[in-house]
Each structure stands twice: as C-alpha cells, then as structure tokens.
A and B are shown apart, each in its own frame.
Chain A
Amino acid sequence: MKKTFTINISGSIFHIDDDAFEKLQRYLQMLNRHFGPALEGQEILQDIEARIAELLIERTSNKTDVVTDSMVDEVIARMGKAEDFMEPDDEQTSATAGADQAVITGAQPVNKRLYRDGDNRVLGGVCSGLAAYFNMDMVILRVIFVIAFFLGIGTSLLLYIILWIVVPKAKTTAQRLEMRGKEANISNIEKSIKEEVKEVGESYNKFMNSPDYDRGTTRMNRLGDVVGGSIKVVLRIIVLLFGAALIIFGIASLIGFVATMVTGHSFLHGGIWNFGWDSDFNMANLMNHFVSPGAYTISLITILILIGIPILVLLFIGTKLIFRYKTNNKMIGLGTFGVWLLALVTLIIVGANQAGNFSKQTSQTVTQKVECTNCKTIYLDMNDDLYETLIDDHISFDRMKVAEVNGKEKLLGQPRFTIEKSSTGEFILLITKGARGSNTLDAQHNVEQMTYNYAQKDSTLQLDPYYILNDNARWRDQEVSMILQVPEGKSIFMSEKMKSIINNIENVNNIWDGDMVGKYWTMTPNGLAMRDSITTTGFR
C-alpha cells in the first residue's frame, strides 16, 4: 500500500499517491517558475490548475479513487511542458525554457517557501503559513502568538501585521505545495544545509579517489565542483546568519523606537508599553520643547515614518533571507518608499518652517545700580538650587535644562556671569536677556517670557542659579548674561556656589574661572587682581 496525500487543486479535493504527488508537484513548480510571480502569470497558472483538476476528475470516477502516477503522466502529456507551449515571443520563451529544463532534470529538492495559508486562516493565515513552513501544529503557534501578545510583548501583534502585509498568500496549488515543501521535517533549513554539505563532501571524495589524477582537466573540473559547492554552503550560512541578525536588530530597534516614542506620554508611563525600558531618551518629550504645538504632531508622525519604515524594511529583508518567500507586489514597495519620501519632504518643510522661528535675535539689557556707598566689598552668593533634584539629566540644550515641577515641565537655563571694570565709581549690574524668534517682535515676546531674579541684602548679592521660562514657552536659544561692573579700588568675593555661572572673568593673575571662588578680588587699574597678590593692606 502506497502512502497517499490529500490535496486541494483549484477547489477540488483529491487523494493522490506518493509518486504521483511528487511528479505533480514538480510539474506545477516548473510552470510556476515559467510564468513567474506577476499577476498575469499567476492567472494563467490558476486556469491551468483548473484544467488539471477537471482532467483528474474525469479520471477518478468517484471521490475515493486515488490519483496514480499514470494519471498524472497522462495529464502532463496532455497539458504539455512549458517549452511546448507555443508562445509568440520566442526569445523569452527559449530563455525560460532552458531554466525549466534545468529544474526538471536536476534532482533539486523542492524548496520550501513561506506563504500565508488562506485555507486555514483565522486572520491573515500568517500562523497557519508559518506552521506549514516549520511543520508545526498551527494551533500551538497561534497560542504562542496570543500568549506573547498578552504578556505585553506588543511586538508580536506588530510582527503579525508585518508578515500579513509582506508575505504573499498561497493562491495556486503550486504555491500551496511550495508552502508545505516536500519533506516532513522540523528543520528544513538545517536539512538543506546538511544536504549541501553532503554534496560537497561527495564531490570532494570523488576528486580524491579519482583514478585519473594526471588528467588535469577533469581534476580541475572536480576541484571546481568542490570549491563551488563549499562556497555555496558557506554563502547560505552567511545569508541565514545575516538574516537572523537583521531580524534581531530590527526587532530590538523597533522596541526601542516605539518605547522612545510612547514613553513621553504620561498615560503610558509604567504601562505595558514600557518593556522595562529606561526612558533615557525621550523623543516626544524632547520635541515638545523645540517645536510649536501644531508642527509637533506632524513632525512626530513623520519621524515615526522616517525611522519606522527603514526598521520594517530591515525586518522584511531579514525574514526574506531566512524564509526565502517570494513577494510579487511591487506596489507595496514603491508605496512604502513614496510614503517615506513624503515624510522626509514634510519633515524638511516643517523643519525649515521651525528654523524660521530662530531667524531673528534680540536682547534686552537692564542696568541696575548696586548700592555700595559705604562698603568696600560686594559678596556674590547664589541661592540654593531648588531644581537640582527635579532636573532631567538626559535633556539639555546648551545651558538650558528641563525640570519637572509638580508634574509640569519647566525650561530653565543657567546664566553667565562675568566681571568688568566700572567706568563710574559705582557697582553696576547689567542683566542682558536674549532670545530668538521668527521676527523681531516675536523675539521680543520670547525675551519677555524669561524671568531672572536676584536680590541685594546689604553688601551681598543673592543671585538665582537659573532663569526660568514661562509655561508654554519654547526653546528659542534664550540666554541671560550678567556683567558686574566693579569700580577701581573696590573688591568682590564669590562664594563656592558661583562656580556654575562664572564665565570667563579676566584677571591679572590669569586664574581659571573655577578657581576664582572663595577668594577676594580687587579691581586695580590693570584689571581684577587677587587680593593676596596686592601689596596694599587694610581692606575690609
């Protein structure tokens, strides 16, 4: 008793024996190759399969009859080999006929390809197709997918959708046969590699045991076989590894990217989307401070597309390398590329538009006399840094920082502080606020959105460590710089805390900014000098 299979050809069910099955499979595969994956070719193939089904129905008088080898031979004889089809465009036919011949004569194992199985589908037939590919029970695979989804690995849903889009559905019988492959083996990939290794080994042995060592040509040919075969195996392994690497990399970047995009929205914080991902870098959040609200959403979407599509393409190439499925839809590829280009153009336009928000710079200086009629020295001190623990360490633009205050985000910046010689006999503090905007008026408005405070208590100037932007203000290259003008003969003392805002104070001792704190400095005709280096005494 021969082994029989049950197959579906063009909607009719047949029982077919082992040999006949293999023959029919080879025949259909050859036709499939001949007509190609384009729509027209697949339509022709479907028609031919319908005819084959019809001829087989004629030959099996009732439904339980088994299709035999001779029946398949008859059908193939009636239908003819692809090269017997009289097709007018001769060049193409002869070219493909040669290839067909090679397929038929060469005892190549039938390659498995990944298809979606439309006959056993629940959604898109992805699981059933994968199950056919790995020769697993499709129920198990579905359960794995569903569990993976509920475990919070949302990527499994995404992966499913990607596969749904890129993996073609098995439409013709030839494709359905290709989907299952010939062997009932779990690791088809491993097997095909082993077969290739064996082939190489055999040709190597042949070469070594060859009796006609002196016949150089044969020897060279055999050597060529061995080398060629080895290269083939190595290449296949490299391709598989590369594919796997692409998939792993693709999934990792996808998870990272999605996490980056979503963690900015507080309602998702700590939810299943967090993946235990440390929200080190937060795209959504970051953008918020740069871009005006309308453009914000658009740029977020375009960035999603610009980065997301290449990642998906990586995943696609990876799966394609491993599973070797065919894709016949150029439109999807072109469409995807089109969308990507559109996103790029949109981002550039939005970017240019946003850059316009920085085109004009303006500043506003407030001059304040520091009362010091009876004192010799002004003490410079800084208020406590209330925001130190609230500042997000991961974001900073230039000297500006983001702090979270009572759930709201605030932009803060460190001012710059320097010292000059006063031309009058008075201590004078100049505070300059600067910002950019789309025009001078806008820039002026942005300047007004900044607050910087200091206070004078007797001879001590208490400076705030930060200037603060009003709510809803965006980063427009704001800065605050302070100049304290010190009259000749008077002194200053800077506390340790001042270190963070001191910016390039010239002094005759050539002491670095950071080392100037905790010391007394006196304005001399030559500039600021450390008091110890001045021979005069009697200060304070």
Chain B
Amino acid sequence: MDLNNTKAQMRKGVLEYCILLVIDGKPLYASNIIEQLKNSKMIVVEGTLYPLLTRLKNDGLLAYKWEESTQGPPRKYYELTVEGRFFLNEMGTSWNELVEAVSMIKRHI
C-alpha cells in the first residue's frame, strides 16, 4: 500500500471543502486561495487549484468577478454563491460527523 497515494487520496476528498471554507467570508483571487492552502499544506502544486475552481464555478457553487489590479492584468475574484454556502454548511456537518466518528473509534481502541 502506497502511503503517499493514500494521503493524497484523503486530501483530495476534502480539498473542495477546504476551498469553499477559504473563500467563505470575503471574495478572494486565486493567489490568495493558494497562499492559504499552501500554508496549511493542503496542496503541493498550484496547478491543482485551477481545475477545481473552474469546476466549482461551473457547478454553480462559486461565482467570480473581474477586478483591476495595481500590477499586471485584472484578476478573477471568487466568492460563494447561495448554493455554495448551503453546500458548505452541509459539508461542514458531515465533516464534523466524520471527525467525531474517527475520534470515537480511536478512543475505543
């Protein structure tokens, strides 16, 4: 069993949840999101983020607007849609249940 692979699989599963968590609150552009995810070691390479952002946007969970930047071209600022917020809450609940379940199992070992 490949340990790295298993780790990657686990991270993959919660990555979308984390992206929604990071964006919740204020509009962010991709580099801000990357910064936070990298700090918490959720992603290794930055390229991972972009396909996910586009898919979340196409699924209606995220929306973006263009904003001018002082340096370089305009940036896409992402924020949660109503649907995205609902989705985030649902995922939050099931995440808590999952953590609860795992810690319960750990306690009983």
Do A and B come together as binding partners?
Answer: yes
Q: Does B65 contact A (CB under 8 A)?
A: no
Q: How far is the CA of A166 from the CA of B31 in the complex (A)?
A: 36
- In the assembled complex, the CB of B44 is this many whole angstroms from the nearest CB of chain A, namely 7
Tell whether A86 pairs with B43 under 8 Å between CB atoms, given A47-B76, A54-B72: yes
- In the assembled complex, the CB of A56 is this many whole angstroms from the nearest CB of chain B, namely 10
- CB-defined contacts of B15 to chain A, threshold 8 Å: 86
Chain B 74-94 near chain A by CB (<8 Å), digits 1 or 0 = 011000000000000000000
Residue contact A48 to B71, C-beta cutoff 8 Å: no
- In the assembled complex, the CB of A470 is this many whole angstroms from the nearest CB of chain B, namely 67
Q: Of B53, B58, B71, which one neighbours A47 at CB under 8 angstroms?
A: B53
- In the assembled complex, the CB of B50 is this many whole angstroms from the nearest CB of chain A, namely 5
Q: How far is the CA of A35 from the CA of B8 in the complex (A)?
A: 21
Residue contact B46 to A43, C-beta cutoff 8 Å: no
Q: Does A84 contact B (CB under 8 A)?
A: yes
Q: Of B48, B54, B73, which one neighbours A80 at CB under 8 angstroms?
A: B48
Tell whether A51 pairs with B30 under 8 Å between CB atoms, given A40-B58, A80-B44, A86-B15: yes
Q: How far is the CA of A86 from the CA of B19 in the complex (A)?
A: 13
Interface SS, A side: helix
Tell whether A51 pairs with B31 under 8 Å between CB atoms, given A11-B73, A86-B15: yes
Q: How far is the CA of A78 from the CA of B46 in the complex (A)?
A: 6
Residue contact A47 to B54, C-beta cutoff 8 Å: yes
- CB-defined contacts of B44 to chain A, threshold 8 Å: 80, 84
Residue total for A at the interface (Cβ-Cβ under 8 A): 26
- In the assembled complex, the CB of A7 is this many whole angstroms from the nearest CB of chain B, namely 14
- CB-defined contacts of A86 to chain B, threshold 8 Å: 8, 11-12, 15, 43, 48
Q: Does B51 contact A (CB under 8 A)?
A: yes
Q: Does A298 contact B (CB under 8 A)?
A: no
Q: How large is the interface on B (under 10, 10 to 19, 20 to 34, 35 or more residues)?
A: 20 to 34
- CB-defined contacts of A50 to chain B, threshold 8 Å: 30, 73, 75-76
Residue contact A85 to B54, C-beta cutoff 8 Å: no
Tell whether A44 pairs with B45 under 8 Å between CB atoms, given A12-B72, A57-B71, A86-B11: no
Tell whether A84 pairs with B48 under 8 Å between CB atoms, given A50-B73, A53-B72, A57-B71: yes
Task: Identify which of residues 16-58 in chain B touch chain A, using a CB-to-CB cut-off of 8 Å.
Answer: 30-31, 34, 43-48, 50-55, 58
Q: Does A407 contact B (CB under 8 A)?
A: no
- In the assembled complex, the CB of B72 is this many whole angstroms from the nearest CB of chain A, namely 6
Residue contact A51 to B46, C-beta cutoff 8 Å: yes
Chain A residue nearest in CB terms to B11: A86
Q: How far is the CA of A88 from the CA of B16 in the complex (A)?
A: 10
Q: Does A82 contact B (CB under 8 A)?
A: yes
Q: Does A65 contact B (CB under 8 A)?
A: no
Tell whether A87 pairs with B51 under 8 Å between CB atoms, given A40-B58, A51-B31: yes
Residue contact B50 to A44, C-beta cutoff 8 Å: yes
Find the residue from A12, A31, A44 having the highest chain B CB count within 10 A: A44
Q: How far is the CA of A10 from the CA of B74 in the complex (A)?
A: 10
Q: Does A79 contact B (CB under 8 A)?
A: yes
Q: How far is the CA of A166 from the CA of B72 in the complex (A)?
A: 32
Tell whether A85 pairs with B72 under 8 Å between CB atoms, given A43-B54, A51-B31: no
Q: Of B46, B54, B73, which one neighbours A40 at CB under 8 angstroms?
A: B54
Residue contact B30 to A10, C-beta cutoff 8 Å: no
Chain A residue nearest in CB terms to B58: A40
- 11 A-B pairs (CB sep. < 8 Å): A31-B47, A35-B51, A43-B54, A44-B50, A48-B47, A53-B72, A57-B71, A80-B46, A80-B47, A85-B48, A86-B8
Q: A11-B73, A53-B73 are in contact. List 5 more A-B contacts (CB 8 A).
A: A31-B47, A44-B51, A47-B53, A51-B34, A85-B47
Q: Could you list which residues of chain A lie within 8 angstroms of chain B, going by C-beta atoms?
A: 10-12, 31, 35, 40, 43-44, 47-48, 50-51, 53-54, 57, 77-82, 84-88
